[in-house]
Amino acid sequence: MIQRSGLLALPYGLWLLAAFAAPLGAVALLSVQQTGGMFDPISLVPSAEQYTELATDYFYRRIFFNTLLLGVCVATVCAVLGYPLALWLTRLPPRWKPLGFAIVLVPLLTNVVVRSLGIILLLAPRGIVASLAVELGLPRPDLLFGWFAVGLALTQVFLPFMVLALYDVLEGQEKRLEEAATSLGAGAATRFWRVTLPLSLPGLRAGLVITFLLASESYVSAALVGGRKVLVSGMIVLKEGIEVMNYPIASALAMLMLGAGVLATFLIGRVIAALTPWIAGRAPLVTFSLPPAPRRVLVAVAEALAPVVSRLLLGIAIALLIFPLLLVIGASVNDSPQATVAQFVGFTLKWYAMVFENPRYLEDAWTSLQLALCAVAIALSITLPAAFALVRGTFRGREALGALYVLPLALPGIAIGLGMLRLLQWFNLVPPFLGILAVHVVLIAPFMLMLLRASVAQLDRSLEEAAGGLGAPPARVFRRVILPQLGPGIGVACVIGFLNSFGEVTVTAFLTTARMQTLPVRIYAEASFSLENTVNAISTIFIAMTIALLLLINRLMPLDRVWRR
């Protein structure tokens, strides 16, 4: 029985070896090569030449550390904005929670290019912010194509991850602790600082790790909103790997990004562990207390400002998530030839007509649809048995295996894309579609596995035992008892996987060819090099598809339960 339960997780592990470990291994091997031509033989004698060049060249060094600083800033801002939004979600009445979660999930599951276009419309020279400044008599600000714009775009993209990480912990907190603090005279600021924040630090750790890793490896938003004037490490990896074909440099930089991510994860974990000594049952390392008089003044000021600041941050967070998408929808029916003009000229549907009349868009959409459907089918076939193995298995190392299976979420997708690109060049008989498909399965399988594990854990085993006691064979028990209970969970996992696969750009951009492109890569390329308003029309179609599928999820299972299972 133990061996059988372990074998259920084997297909998932084999897929990770072929489509995750192999590309990472190729990148690690390429990073220690002296020469990197496409047809150069692979040397098994390692060389540190590429790492030396990256460490000594000021250009590479500056970009690398700027990227890390950007990741730190984005993670910090996401934490500041994430707490009010997560607390707001926990306090919503049950009937309104699905709507609150829709505010978070619609941006999360909408294509990153779409959200970046919304930020461009917001910050463009003739955009909303600039026009508002002029109306107020201020000079027209130049906010686009700089670090501020890139940081704002990345915050908008990754804020939902922080909110969900915090919500999971905040929702599970004992509500009577806050009630007790209130009865003892603690105000809102004191309750947050002394009760809510300390107990939510594990969720904050997860949110900081996720947002830092994703922000430090992202390049799509930086390329669009930064106007290629802001350079980040991911853009250099893409340029060196695809345009220059300097694979050793690209691979070495990708490995450095991987190392920085692992180090950051370790440091964040150590800091949070030091701030939560009660979890390990030890005394605090450092205690600090202000003198009574300054403390009373500080507490009084904090209590006076807390309601205003919390509402202000909540409003900013919701506006940042939703408003850029509304700008994209408005621009898609704007009779303006430029995609970045937020001023409304006149209503038109011609941009939609141009999209549906253009065979390239339809072909790319068909490719994306095929890719997403195949990826979901394969991911479901390997994650469902793995979920049963991880929930019901009794084999040694089960928890470690579960952590290993979600590892692709914590490692740079850029390295996976670069490694798969090189593997497809070495094994050129493999069609590019299969290479992209293999990577997409790796990218969506961890999400589906986490959702399916929760569904399997909630199964009523007494029903299975009753069916078995009545003589039903295992296959019939699975088909007639287990599968109907799992139906909603499987549907939710498949929809989430489909949306993630259909909208994926960061890794897919490495692997598409002139003859085969996905629709998100197509609109990323067009948004980078042209400003025709058809990109807003396609983006609005993406938003509508995301909303429609989230409505389907809500029919299967309330949205607030998807991440609370």
Q: Above 90 in pLDDT, residue 378? A: yes
Q: Is 86 in contact with 226 (CB distance < 8 Å)?
A: no
**pLDDT value of position 383:** 92
- Closest to 425 in 3D by CA, of 534, 546, 511, 516: 511
**pLDDT value of position 400:** 80
218 band by pLDDT with thresholds 50, 70 and 90: confident
**pLDDT value of position 88:** 92
Highest mean pLDDT among 65-79, 89-103, 270-284, 410-424: 65-79
Residues 263-303: tens digit of each pLDDT: 888 888 888 877 776 665 565 555 556 677 777 777 777 77
Q: Above 70 in pLDDT, residue 165? A: yes
**pLDDT value of position 564:** 57
CA 562/CA 554 separation, integer angstroms: 9
Q: What average pLDDT is seen over the chain? A: 83
- Closest to 199 in 3D by CA, of 180, 178, 173: 173
**pLDDT value of position 3:** 55
CA 150/CA 159 separation, integer angstroms: 14
Which range is least confidently modeled, 128-137, 172-181, 318-327, 380-389? 172-181
**pLDDT value of position 377:** 95
Average pLDDT over residues 460-488: 77
Q: What pTM did the predictor assign?
A: 0.85
**pLDDT value of position 1:** 41
**What dihedral angle (degrees, nearest 10) is formed by the CA atoms of 378, 372, 524, 124?**
-110
Alpha helices in 393-412 (DSSP H): 398-405
79 band by pLDDT with thresholds 50, 70 and 90: very high
Q: Is 492 in contact with 565 (CB distance < 8 Å)?
A: no
CA 346/CA 330 separation, integer angstroms: 11
CA 48/CA 54 separation, integer angstroms: 10
Q: What percent of the chain has pLDDT over 90?
A: 15
Which range is least confidently modeled, 113-127, 213-227, 389-403, 460-474? 460-474
Residues 451-472: tens digit of each pLDDT: 888 788 877 777 777 777 777 7
Which range is least confidently modeled, 156-165, 240-249, 361-370? 240-249
More confident residue, 319 or 339: 319
**pLDDT value of position 342:** 63
Which residues have CB under 8 Å from 362's CB, separation 6+?
Answer: 356
Q: Above 80 in pLDDT, residue 120? A: yes
2 band by pLDDT with thresholds 50, 70 and 90: very low
**pLDDT value of position 270:** 84
CA 199/CA 178 separation, integer angstroms: 11
Average pLDDT over residues 3-22: 84
More confident residue, 497 or 395: 497
